[in-house]
């Protein structure tokens, strides 16, 4: 014990003696303990990482060198409570890198990634540390542990074992090299996607080429062009907020094709941003890594810690949903072809035609024009609707707070409190695209929830990030129906993090299996267009008028429209992901031919392009969803079934069901995900609720 105290004291003294001007290392007092984003500069990150790694290593050394016998407290708990400074530095850096990065931060990431990989491998492959962990694990039934403590012991041991602690020395050394290379490849892949997305600019100087494009989209494109120094033009890019309105509304078929191809061929042009070689190397290393652990393919290695357990289970699940989805998509394609024949006799429906004719058919069939709906979906109103929904379900409240440290002026911050006034947590929102932000939408922890050794519950700080339409000089940010669903989705992730009531940080919040973690997010999407929920947030941004009942009826009448396309686009990406991660050898392959063969095996129709083509598939090559993209559909079965639990009571805000659902969210990863769901629902999830929601069955 004296050795442990000496090392920790020495480390703390060193930390106090370091650069007091570095806000990541000095004792800067900020509200709720959030990072001092407003004071952090790029030059602060690297020294902070090095010092945080050094301090964390001292904590690990103290555990290893403890002369006392291994116990839950001096080994497992001490390990979970170590690394607080490193968590703080990593969170600050990587959140900003993803949302507001630049070339200098990319360079820092390239330097930091090997340092983190070396350190993490040094911990997980430390034989003396693992010996102590294993000793506690082997004796766990005799330690009178609480259920959460037992879970922590088992998950800690499994983490060590799954990351190589049981491997022989030569394989451990190779594993370190693989992990370091994979870290750098992941960074390279993501940087290439951002760079190529930003590099493409299409200037249109003849307004007649934009026939059919809504005025709001033209105004946004004009402002982008002005910002780029071309006030004579309209600027379009492969960012979804830019090209989606063109696909939906623009009569100019060549323009639709140009922009869709610019989006779907990113990082596939044999230039400096090409990701094909990155994919090859990544998959070689993932296969080799799986082989080190005795698995035939990466999917079986990765899925061993998920609800699905193995690739065979995932493949069977995806196929069961793929067949009705593809059948629906074929029916939709035939209907769109029939409509297109009226405009362009003899022309074949192409992917760049689908959105355009789907929008026309939706207007014809349901008298529903999304441009008429968007004025009712002003961003701050939609967010407030999500906040009110959380209040009605769980009793929590959201209050905007000014003067918080932020990294960009677009960021807003909210204090979240419980019905009794207790702090639940803090929520950051960052919704608008910018050059340094990666595409898509996501939720991250800024500070995780945990209970410290003194019994103090440290409440979480969560961030929601998106890429919605920026306000223009004439209009606020108006959301599409897809955008509304995305906002509610990411807010569901945020609630999962905010409501956490775990003791240990590694079990708190969204630290659950990947095929469970999408349940809380997708569950919230069910509420978006329920009439009683719409009436809490859908107000016309100019008149303040509540969305008319007639429009609500049209929205819900069209809810099952185009769902074959939606599911086929999604599932094809899931199957492509699994095909990559069921590779069993390390031979070079042609990425484009591999992708084409995968789509051919699933009988993908040519009118639809897979949601994420390989060379910009960030989910599986940068963000940790490899062999896991299926989880969106797996969780969709759960979320549809969970929403049915409310529907069956006749009250979608039923307090008793909501209390059970909140309890499930609060548990984080402290219990088995399957057991948690069974406890909430009282039965296995029934896929019929998802198929019925999509309109695939009556």
Q: Residue 16's pLDDT band (boundaries 50, 70, 90)?
A: very low
Q: Distance between CA atoms of 92 and 604, rounded to whole angstroms?
A: 41
Q: What is the pLDDT of residue 50?
A: 97
- d(CA 35, CA 405) in angstroms, rounded, equals 7
Q: 3-state class of 235 per DSSP?
A: strand
pLDDT at 19: 60
> Of the candidates 581, 583, 566, 573, which has an alpha carbon nearest to the alpha carbon of residue 619?
573
Q: Indicate whether 174 pLDDT > 70.
A: yes
Checking if the pLDDT of 523 tops 50, the result is: yes
Q: How many CB atoms lie within 10 A of CB 87?
A: 17
- 102-131 pLDDT, tens digit per residue, is 999 999 999 999 999 999 999 999 999 999
User: Is residue 63 scored above 50 in pLDDT?
Assistant: yes
Average of per-residue pLDDT across 452-462: 97
**Percent of the chain surpassing pLDDT 90:** 94
Question: Considering the chain, what is the average pLDDT of its residues?
Answer: 95
73 DSSP 8-state letter: I
Give the C-alpha separation, 5 to 2, whole Å.
5
Contact, 638 vs 519, CB < 8 A?
A: yes
If you write DSSP's letter for every residue of 105-128 in order, what string do you get?
A: HHHHHHHHHHHHHHHHHHHHT-HH
CA–CA dist 655, 651 (Å, integer): 9
More confident residue, 405 or 473: 405
What are the tens digits of pLDDT across the range 342-383? 999 999 999 999 999 999 999 999 999 889 999 999 999 999
C-beta separation of 382 from 537 below 8 A? yes
**Contact indicator for 76, 158 with CB cutoff of 8 Å:** no
Instruction: From 373, 345, 366, 370, select the one nearest 356 (Cα to Cα).
Output: 370
Q: Cβ neighbours of residue 140 under 8 Å, at least 6 residues apart?
A: 150, 153, 154
Residue 698 has pLDDT above 90, yes or no: no
207-256: pLDDT as tens digits: 999 999 999 999 999 999 999 999 999 999 999 999 999 999 999 999 99
pLDDT in tens, 621-680: 998 899 999 999 999 999 999 999 999 999 999 999 999 999 999 999 999 999 999 999
As a three-state string, the secondary structure of 13-38 is HHHHHCCCCCCCCCCCCCHHHCCCCC
Element (H, E) at 414: strand 412-417
Q: Scan for tokens 């490899």, then name that residue.
A: 626
Place of tokens 């107000």: 539
3-state secondary structure of 71: coil
Element (H, E) at 442: strand 442-447
Mean pLDDT for 73-90 is: 97
CB-CB neighbours of 416 under 10 Å: 23
Helix (H, G, I), strand (E, B) or coil at 345: coil
Predicted local confidence at residue 17, as pLDDT = 43
Q: Are 207 and 133 in contact (CB under 8 A)?
A: no
Cα separation, 204 vs 200, in Å, equals 13
List of domains in the chain = 2-166 (1.10.1370.40), 200-264 (no CATH), 304-366+561-694 (1.10.1370.10), 374-540 (1.10.1370.40)
Per-residue HEC secondary structure of 495-564 comes to HHHHCCCCCCHHHCCCCCCHHHHHHHHHHHHCCCCCHHHHCCCCECCCCCCECCHHHHHHHHHCCCCCHH
User: Does residue 5 carry a pLDDT above 50?
Assistant: no
Cα 580 to Cα 572: distance, rounded to the nearest angstrom: 12
Question: Could you give the 3-state DSSP secondary structure of residue 425?
Answer: strand
Q: What is the pTM of this model?
A: 0.91
Q: Which of 121, 119, 104 is CA-nearest to residue 45?
A: 104
SS (H, E, C) 650-696: CCCCCHHHHHHHHHHHHCCCCCCHHHHHHHHHCCCCCCHHHHHHHCC
Say if residue 4's pLDDT is above 70.
no
Handedness of CA 154, 160, 164, 168 (dihedral sign): negative
417-443 pLDDT, tens digit per residue, is 999 999 999 999 999 999 999 989 999
The pLDDT of residue 12 is: 44
Q: Which residue has the tokens 């949903």?
A: 321
Give which of 172, 210, 203, 306 is closest to 626, Cα–Cα.
306
Radius of gyration of the chain, Cα coordinates, nearest whole angstrom: 26
The separation between CA 696 and the C-alpha centre of its own chain, rounded to angstroms, equals 27
Nearest-angstrom CA–CA distance, 612 and 655: 39
- Residues listed for the chain: 698
Q: Can you say whether the dihedral through the CA atoms of 576, 577, 583, 587 is positive or negative?
A: positive
402: exposed, middle or buried (C-beta count within 10 Å: 0-12, 13-18, 19+)? exposed
Distance between CA atoms of residues 262 and 79, nearest Å: 47
For residues 191 and 141, what is the distance between their CA atoms, to the nearest angstrom? 47
Q: Cβ neighbours of residue 9 under 8 Å, at least 6 residues apart? A: none
- The alpha carbon torsion through 213, 218, 219, 220 (nearest 10 deg) reads 100
Give the confidence band of 20 by pLDDT, cuts at 50, 70, 90.
low
Known catalytic residue at 378: no
Question: What does the pLDDT average to over 408-415?
Answer: 98
CB crowding 632-647: b at 16 or more within 10 Å, else e:
bbbbbbbbbbbbbbbb
Question: Which H helix or E strand runs over 206?
Answer: none
Tokens (6 digits) for 570: 């999604």
Report the DSSP beta bridge partners of residue 451: 457
Gap between the Cα atoms of 187 and 84, Å rounded: 24
Cα gap 4→105, rounded to integer Å: 35
Are the CB atoms for 502 and 670 separated by under 8 Å? yes
Whether the CB-CB separation of 105 and 40 falls below 8 Å is answered with no
Cβ neighbours, 10 Å, residue 127? 10
Q: Give the span between the Cα atoms of 542 and 478, in whole angstroms.
A: 11
Q: Residue 413: helix, strand or coil by DSSP?
A: strand
**CB count, 10 Å around CB of 415?**
17
CA torsion sign for 689, 693, 696, 698 is positive
Q: Per the residue annotation, which of 490, 530, 607, 666 is the catalytic one? A: 490
Q: pLDDT digits over 490-522, tens only?
A: 999 999 999 999 999 999 999 999 999 999 999
Tell me if residue 480 falls in helix, strand or coil: coil
- State yes or no: pLDDT of 3 exceeds 90: no
């Amino acid at each position: 014990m004296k050795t442990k105290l000496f090392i920790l004291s020495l480390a703390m003294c060193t930390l106090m003696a370091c650069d007091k001007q570095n806000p990541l290392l000095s004792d800067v007092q900020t509200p709720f303990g959030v990072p001092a984003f407003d004071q952090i500069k790029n030059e602060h990150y690297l020294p902070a990482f090095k010092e945080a790694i050094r301090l964390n290593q001292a904590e690990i050394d103290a555990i290893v060198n403890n002369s006392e016998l291994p116990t839950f407290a001096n080994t497992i708990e001490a390990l979970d409570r170590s690394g607080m400074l490193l968590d703080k530095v990593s969170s600050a850096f990587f959140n900003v890198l993803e949302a507001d990065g630049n070339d200098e931060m990319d360079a820092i990431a390239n330097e930091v990634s090997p340092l983190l990989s070396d350190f993490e491998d040094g911990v997980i492959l430390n034989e003396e540390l693992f010996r102590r962990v294993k000793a506690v694990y082997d004796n766990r039934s005799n330690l009178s542990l609480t259920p959460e403590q037992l879970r922590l012991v088992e998950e800690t041991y499994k983490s060590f074992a799954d990351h190589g602690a049981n491997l022989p020395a030569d394989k451990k050394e190779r594993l370190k090299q693989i992990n370091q290379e994979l870290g750098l490849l992941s960074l390279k892949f993501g940087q290439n996607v951002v760079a190529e997305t930003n590099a493409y600019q299409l200037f249109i100087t003849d307004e007649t080429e934009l026939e059919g494009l809504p005025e709001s989209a033209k105004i946004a494109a004009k402002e982008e062009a002005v910002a780029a120094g071309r006030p004579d033009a309209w600027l379009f890019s492969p960012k979804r907020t830019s090209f989606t309105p063109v696909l939906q509304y623009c009569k100019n078929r060549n323009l639709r094709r140009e922009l869709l191809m610019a989006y779907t061929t990113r990082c596939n042009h044999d230039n400096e941003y090409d990701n094909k070689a990155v994919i090859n190397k990544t998959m070689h290393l993932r296969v080799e890594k799986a082989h080190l652990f005795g698995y035939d393919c990466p999917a079986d290695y990765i899925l061993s810690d998920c609800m699905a357990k193995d690739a065979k289970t995932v493949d069977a699940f995806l196929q069961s949903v793929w067949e009705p989805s593809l059948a629906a998509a074929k029916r939709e394609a035939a209907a769109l072809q029939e409509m297109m024949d009226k405009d362009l006799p003899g022309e074949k429906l192409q992917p760049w035609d689908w959105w355009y004719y789907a929008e026309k058919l939706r207007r014809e069939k349901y008298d529903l024009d999304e441009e008429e709906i968007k004025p009712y979906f002003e961003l701050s109103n939609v967010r407030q609707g999500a906040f009110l929904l959380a209040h009605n379900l769980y009793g929590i409240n959201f209050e905007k707070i000014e003067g918080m440290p932020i990294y960009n002026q677009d960021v807003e911050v909210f204090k979240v409190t419980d019905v009794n006034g207790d702090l639940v947590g803090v929520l950051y929102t960052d919704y608008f695209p910018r050059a340094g932000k990666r595409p898509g939408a996501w939720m991250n922890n800024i500070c995780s929830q945990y209970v410290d050794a003194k019994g103090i519950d440290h409440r979480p700080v969560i961030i929601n990030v998106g890429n919605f339409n920026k306000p223009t000089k004439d209009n606020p940010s108006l959301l599409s129906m897809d955008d509304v669903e995305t906002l509610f989705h990411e807010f569901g992730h945020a609630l999962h993090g905010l409501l956490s009531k775990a003791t240990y940080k590694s079990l708190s919040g969204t630290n659950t299996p990947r095929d469970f973690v999408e349940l809380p997010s997708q569950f919230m999407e069910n509420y978006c267009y329920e009439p009683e929920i719409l009436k809490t947030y859908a107000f016309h941004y100019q008149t303040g008028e509540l969305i008319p009942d007639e429009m609500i009826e049209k929205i819900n009448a069209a809810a099952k429209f185009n769902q074959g396309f939606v599911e086929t686009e999604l599932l094809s990406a899931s199957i492509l992901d699994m095909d990559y991660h069921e590779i069993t050898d390390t031979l070079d392959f042609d990425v484009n031919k591999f992708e084409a063969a995968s789509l051919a095996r699933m009988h993908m129709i040519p009118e639809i392009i897979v949601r994420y083509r390989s060379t910009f598939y960030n989910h599986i090559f940068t963000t940790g969803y490899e062999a896991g993209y299926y989880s969106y559909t797996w969780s969709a079965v759960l979320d549809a079934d969970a929403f049915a639990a409310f529907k069956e009571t006749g009250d979608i805000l039923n307090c008793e069901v909501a209390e059970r659902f909140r309890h499930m969210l609060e548990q984080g990863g402290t219990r088995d995900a399957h057991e948690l769901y069974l406890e909430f629902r009282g039965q296995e999830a029934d896929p019929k609720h998802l198929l019925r929601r999509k309109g695939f069955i009556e």
